[in-house]
Amino acid sequence: MRVDIVTIFPEYLAPLELSLIGRARQSDVLDVTVHDLRAWTHDAHRTVDDSPYGGGPGMVMRPEPWGEVLDALRADREADPPRLIVPTPAGVPFSQRLARELAGEPRLLFACGRYEGIDERVVAYAASRMTVTEVSLGDYVLFGGEVAVLVVLEAVVRLLPGVLGNADSLVEESHAGGLLEAPLYTKPAQWRGYEVPEVLRSGDHGRIARWRREQALLRTAARRPDLLAALPADALDEDDRVLLAGTGLSPPGGDMAE
Protein backbone atom coordinates (compact mmCIF):
# COMPACT_ATOMS: atom_id res chain seq x y z
CA MET A 1 0.00 0.00 0.00
CA ARG A 2 1.20 3.48 -0.85
CA VAL A 3 0.37 6.28 1.62
CA ASP A 4 0.94 10.04 1.21
CA ILE A 5 0.33 12.44 4.09
CA VAL A 6 0.14 16.22 3.69
CA THR A 7 0.60 18.37 6.81
CA ILE A 8 2.15 21.61 8.04
CA PHE A 9 3.75 19.53 10.86
CA PRO A 10 5.68 16.67 9.19
CA GLU A 11 7.48 15.92 12.52
CA TYR A 12 4.09 15.03 14.03
CA LEU A 13 4.14 11.86 11.91
CA ALA A 14 7.51 10.67 13.33
CA PRO A 15 5.83 7.76 15.20
CA LEU A 16 5.28 6.13 11.79
CA GLU A 17 8.99 5.15 11.96
CA LEU A 18 8.37 3.01 15.04
CA SER A 19 7.21 -0.45 15.97
CA LEU A 20 5.12 -2.51 13.58
CA ILE A 21 4.31 0.35 11.17
CA GLY A 22 8.03 1.15 10.94
CA ARG A 23 8.72 -2.51 10.23
CA ALA A 24 5.99 -2.70 7.57
CA ARG A 25 7.69 0.28 5.88
CA GLN A 26 11.07 -1.49 5.94
CA SER A 27 9.53 -4.55 4.31
CA ASP A 28 7.72 -3.70 1.07
CA VAL A 29 4.19 -3.85 2.46
CA LEU A 30 3.91 -0.11 3.13
CA ASP A 31 5.37 2.94 1.39
CA VAL A 32 4.71 6.17 3.37
CA THR A 33 5.71 9.68 2.25
CA VAL A 34 5.06 12.75 4.42
CA HIS A 35 4.76 16.07 2.55
CA ASP A 36 5.05 19.60 3.96
CA LEU A 37 2.09 21.66 2.69
CA ARG A 38 4.24 24.81 2.84
CA ALA A 39 6.40 23.43 0.01
CA TRP A 40 3.44 24.25 -2.29
CA THR A 41 3.21 27.92 -1.27
CA HIS A 42 4.84 30.69 -3.34
CA ASP A 43 5.01 33.69 -1.00
CA ALA A 44 8.01 34.58 1.17
CA HIS A 45 6.08 33.78 4.38
CA ARG A 46 4.84 30.41 3.04
CA THR A 47 1.29 31.35 4.06
CA VAL A 48 -1.27 28.55 4.38
CA ASP A 49 -4.09 30.32 6.28
CA ASP A 50 -6.35 33.36 6.16
CA SER A 51 -9.37 34.79 7.99
CA PRO A 52 -12.77 33.14 7.45
CA TYR A 53 -15.32 34.63 5.03
CA GLY A 54 -18.44 35.48 7.02
CA GLY A 55 -16.38 36.20 10.13
CA GLY A 56 -15.80 34.10 13.19
CA PRO A 57 -12.86 33.03 15.30
CA GLY A 58 -9.52 31.73 14.09
CA MET A 59 -8.10 31.10 10.65
CA VAL A 60 -8.97 28.81 7.73
CA MET A 61 -6.52 26.95 5.47
CA ARG A 62 -6.36 28.62 2.04
CA PRO A 63 -7.22 26.38 -0.92
CA GLU A 64 -4.29 27.17 -3.29
CA PRO A 65 -1.47 25.10 -1.70
CA TRP A 66 -3.92 22.21 -1.20
CA GLY A 67 -4.92 22.38 -4.88
CA GLU A 68 -1.27 22.24 -5.96
CA VAL A 69 -0.28 19.31 -3.76
CA LEU A 70 -3.43 17.33 -4.62
CA ASP A 71 -2.77 17.88 -8.35
CA ALA A 72 0.84 16.73 -7.96
CA LEU A 73 -0.04 13.57 -6.02
CA ARG A 74 -3.02 12.77 -8.26
CA ALA A 75 -0.81 13.08 -11.36
CA ASP A 76 1.87 10.81 -9.86
CA ARG A 77 1.05 7.20 -11.01
CA GLU A 78 -2.03 8.51 -12.83
CA ALA A 79 -3.41 5.01 -13.49
CA ASP A 80 -4.27 4.39 -9.83
CA PRO A 81 -5.52 7.53 -8.12
CA PRO A 82 -5.39 7.72 -4.32
CA ARG A 83 -8.42 7.70 -2.08
CA LEU A 84 -8.36 10.99 -0.16
CA ILE A 85 -9.00 10.80 3.59
CA VAL A 86 -9.68 14.09 5.39
CA PRO A 87 -9.87 13.96 9.20
CA THR A 88 -12.44 16.43 10.54
CA PRO A 89 -14.87 16.43 13.46
CA ALA A 90 -17.59 16.74 10.78
CA GLY A 91 -16.61 13.41 9.16
CA VAL A 92 -18.19 9.96 9.27
CA PRO A 93 -17.18 8.05 12.41
CA PHE A 94 -14.02 5.99 11.91
CA SER A 95 -14.68 2.31 12.58
CA GLN A 96 -13.22 -1.16 12.14
CA ARG A 97 -15.49 -1.54 9.10
CA LEU A 98 -13.98 1.56 7.47
CA ALA A 99 -10.47 0.39 8.43
CA ARG A 100 -11.15 -2.91 6.59
CA GLU A 101 -12.40 -0.99 3.55
CA LEU A 102 -9.31 1.28 3.50
CA ALA A 103 -6.99 -1.72 3.91
CA GLY A 104 -8.25 -2.87 0.50
CA GLU A 105 -7.11 0.35 -1.25
CA PRO A 106 -3.82 0.40 -3.14
CA ARG A 107 -3.26 4.07 -2.35
CA LEU A 108 -4.34 6.48 0.43
CA LEU A 109 -3.75 10.23 0.63
CA PHE A 110 -4.32 11.98 3.95
CA ALA A 111 -4.93 15.75 4.19
CA CYS A 112 -4.23 17.08 7.70
CA GLY A 113 -6.07 20.29 8.50
CA ARG A 114 -5.09 22.73 11.25
CA TYR A 115 -6.53 26.03 12.56
CA GLU A 116 -10.35 25.98 12.14
CA GLY A 117 -10.06 23.61 9.17
CA ILE A 118 -9.63 23.63 5.36
CA ASP A 119 -11.54 25.79 2.84
CA GLU A 120 -14.56 23.68 1.78
CA ARG A 121 -13.75 24.04 -1.93
CA VAL A 122 -10.68 21.80 -1.52
CA VAL A 123 -12.90 18.79 -0.76
CA ALA A 124 -15.30 19.73 -3.59
CA TYR A 125 -12.41 19.98 -6.08
CA ALA A 126 -10.76 16.76 -4.89
CA ALA A 127 -14.07 14.87 -5.08
CA SER A 128 -14.24 15.71 -8.82
CA ARG A 129 -10.95 13.82 -9.29
CA MET A 130 -10.84 11.06 -6.66
CA THR A 131 -12.89 9.37 -3.95
CA VAL A 132 -12.93 11.55 -0.85
CA THR A 133 -13.88 10.40 2.64
CA GLU A 134 -14.09 12.82 5.55
CA VAL A 135 -13.59 10.86 8.78
CA SER A 136 -13.93 11.72 12.47
CA LEU A 137 -12.22 9.90 15.32
CA GLY A 138 -15.05 10.72 17.71
CA ASP A 139 -16.96 13.44 19.49
CA TYR A 140 -14.16 15.44 21.03
CA VAL A 141 -12.03 18.24 19.58
CA LEU A 142 -8.40 17.93 18.51
CA PHE A 143 -6.08 20.70 17.27
CA GLY A 144 -5.69 19.11 13.84
CA GLY A 145 -5.78 15.97 11.68
CA GLU A 146 -2.31 14.54 12.38
CA VAL A 147 -3.18 12.36 15.37
CA ALA A 148 -6.26 11.11 13.51
CA VAL A 149 -3.99 9.99 10.65
CA LEU A 150 -1.82 8.05 13.11
CA VAL A 151 -4.91 6.31 14.49
CA VAL A 152 -6.41 5.50 11.09
CA LEU A 153 -3.10 4.20 9.73
CA GLU A 154 -2.48 2.01 12.77
CA ALA A 155 -5.91 0.43 12.36
CA VAL A 156 -5.43 -0.04 8.59
CA VAL A 157 -1.80 -1.24 8.51
CA ARG A 158 -2.37 -4.07 10.99
CA LEU A 159 -4.92 -5.49 8.53
CA LEU A 160 -2.49 -5.57 5.60
CA PRO A 161 -1.38 -9.02 4.48
CA GLY A 162 2.20 -9.67 5.61
CA VAL A 163 2.12 -7.30 8.60
CA LEU A 164 2.77 -8.85 12.00
CA GLY A 165 -0.41 -8.78 14.06
CA ASN A 166 -2.33 -9.98 11.03
CA ALA A 167 -3.00 -13.38 12.69
CA ASP A 168 -4.75 -11.22 15.29
CA SER A 169 -7.16 -9.70 12.78
CA LEU A 170 -8.34 -13.16 11.70
CA VAL A 171 -9.07 -14.04 15.32
CA GLU A 172 -10.99 -10.79 15.67
CA GLU A 173 -13.35 -11.61 12.77
CA SER A 174 -14.42 -15.01 14.11
CA HIS A 175 -14.13 -14.35 17.82
CA ALA A 176 -14.93 -10.93 19.26
CA GLY A 177 -18.42 -10.83 17.73
CA GLY A 178 -19.44 -7.27 18.69
CA LEU A 179 -18.69 -7.65 22.42
CA LEU A 180 -15.90 -6.19 24.54
CA GLU A 181 -13.14 -8.66 25.40
CA ALA A 182 -12.99 -10.55 28.70
CA PRO A 183 -10.18 -9.51 31.13
CA LEU A 184 -6.68 -10.91 30.62
CA TYR A 185 -4.26 -12.34 33.17
CA THR A 186 -0.71 -13.73 33.11
CA LYS A 187 1.81 -14.96 35.70
CA PRO A 188 2.26 -14.70 38.63
CA ALA A 189 -0.98 -16.32 39.89
CA GLN A 190 -0.80 -14.14 43.05
CA TRP A 191 0.30 -10.52 42.79
CA ARG A 192 0.11 -7.90 45.58
CA GLY A 193 -2.85 -9.67 47.11
CA TYR A 194 -4.78 -10.01 43.85
CA GLU A 195 -5.23 -13.43 42.35
CA VAL A 196 -5.99 -14.78 38.90
CA PRO A 197 -9.58 -16.16 38.83
CA GLU A 198 -9.54 -19.86 39.69
CA VAL A 199 -11.46 -20.82 36.54
CA LEU A 200 -8.60 -19.64 34.29
CA ARG A 201 -6.20 -21.98 36.13
CA SER A 202 -8.63 -24.96 36.13
CA GLY A 203 -7.66 -26.33 32.71
CA ASP A 204 -11.40 -26.84 32.03
CA HIS A 205 -11.70 -25.29 28.56
CA GLY A 206 -15.51 -25.44 28.55
CA ARG A 207 -15.76 -23.57 31.88
CA ILE A 208 -13.12 -21.07 30.73
CA ALA A 209 -15.01 -20.34 27.50
CA ARG A 210 -18.31 -19.86 29.43
CA TRP A 211 -16.62 -17.57 32.00
CA ARG A 212 -15.05 -15.44 29.26
CA ARG A 213 -18.41 -15.18 27.49
CA GLU A 214 -20.08 -14.02 30.75
CA GLN A 215 -17.35 -11.47 31.43
CA ALA A 216 -17.60 -10.13 27.88
CA LEU A 217 -21.39 -9.79 28.18
CA LEU A 218 -21.29 -8.15 31.64
CA ARG A 219 -18.61 -5.66 30.59
CA THR A 220 -20.38 -4.83 27.37
CA ALA A 221 -23.71 -4.32 29.16
CA ALA A 222 -22.09 -2.05 31.78
CA ARG A 223 -19.76 -0.02 29.53
CA ARG A 224 -21.14 -0.22 26.00
CA PRO A 225 -24.89 -0.85 26.03
CA ASP A 226 -24.91 0.59 22.47
CA LEU A 227 -22.90 -2.46 21.29
CA LEU A 228 -25.26 -4.85 23.03
CA ALA A 229 -28.29 -3.16 21.47
CA ALA A 230 -26.70 -3.44 18.00
CA LEU A 231 -26.13 -7.22 18.16
CA PRO A 232 -28.12 -9.30 15.67
CA ALA A 233 -31.15 -11.03 17.24
CA ASP A 234 -29.49 -14.47 17.14
CA ALA A 235 -26.23 -13.30 18.79
CA LEU A 236 -27.47 -14.01 22.34
CA ASP A 237 -28.54 -17.47 23.50
CA GLU A 238 -30.82 -18.29 26.43
CA ASP A 239 -27.92 -18.41 28.96
CA ASP A 240 -26.74 -14.98 27.76
CA ARG A 241 -30.26 -13.53 28.18
CA VAL A 242 -30.66 -14.97 31.68
CA LEU A 243 -27.28 -13.53 32.68
CA LEU A 244 -28.14 -10.07 31.36
CA ALA A 245 -31.66 -10.11 32.86
CA GLY A 246 -29.97 -10.43 36.27
CA THR A 247 -28.05 -7.18 35.72
CA GLY A 248 -30.85 -4.79 34.81
CA LEU A 249 -28.60 -3.92 31.84
CA SER A 250 -30.53 -5.89 29.23
CA PRO A 251 -30.47 -4.69 25.64
CA PRO A 252 -33.64 -2.76 24.74
CA GLY A 253 -36.04 -4.69 22.52
CA GLY A 254 -34.53 -8.01 23.57
CA ASP A 255 -37.17 -10.55 24.63
CA MET A 256 -35.51 -11.23 27.95
CA ALA A 257 -36.07 -14.22 30.18
CA GLU A 258 -37.13 -13.43 33.75
By CB atoms closer than 10 A (0-12, 13-18, 19+), residue 174 is: exposed
CA angle 150, 15, 67 (to 5 degrees): 55
Q: How far is the CB of 53 from ligand JD8 (least distance, A)?
A: 16
Q: How far is the CB of 145 from ligand JD8 (least distance, A)?
A: 4
**Judged by CB, which is closer to ligand JD8: 226, or 234?**
226
Instruction: Name every residue whose Cβ is closer than 8 Å to that of residue 182 and which is 6 or more positions away in sequence.
Output: 211, 212, 213, 215, 216, 219
Q: Contact at 8 Å (CB) between 36 and 27?
A: no
**Judged by CB, which is closer to ligand JD8: 65, or 144?**
144
**Judged by CB, which is closer to ligand JD8: 93, or 178?**
93
Q: Of the candidates 44, 48, 76, which has an alpha carbon nearest to the alpha carbon of residue 60?
A: 48
Q: How far is the CB of 8 from ligand JD8 (least distance, A)?
A: 11
**Judged by CB, which is closer to ligand JD8: 62, or 213?**
62
Instruction: Name every residue whose Cβ is closer than 8 Å to that of residue 161 and which is 6 or more positions away in sequence.
Output: 29
The alpha carbon of residue 60 and the mean position of all alpha carbons in its chain are separated, in whole angstroms, by: 25
Q: How far is the CB of 124 from ligand JD8 (least distance, A)?
A: 17
Which chain residues interact with ligand JD8 by CB under 6 A? 87-89, 91, 113-114, 116-117, 135-138, 140-145, 148
216-235: b (≥16 Cβ within 10 Å) or e: bbbbbbeeeeeebeebeeee
**Judged by CB, which is closer to ligand JD8: 8, or 228?**
8
> E strand or H helix at 4, and its extent?
strand 2-7
Q: Of the candidates 190, 50, 189, which has an alpha carbon nearest to the alpha carbon of residue 117?
A: 50
Q: How far is the CB of 16 from ligand JD8 (least distance, A)?
A: 17
Q: How far is the CB of 82 from ligand JD8 (least distance, A)?
A: 18
Q: What angle, 0 to 180 degrees and rounded to 10, lies between the N-to-C axes of helices 238-245 and 205-223?
A: 50
**Judged by CB, which is closer to ligand JD8: 37, or 221?**
37
**Judged by CB, which is closer to ligand JD8: 119, or 240?**
119
Q: How far is the CB of 142 from ligand JD8 (least distance, A)?
A: 4
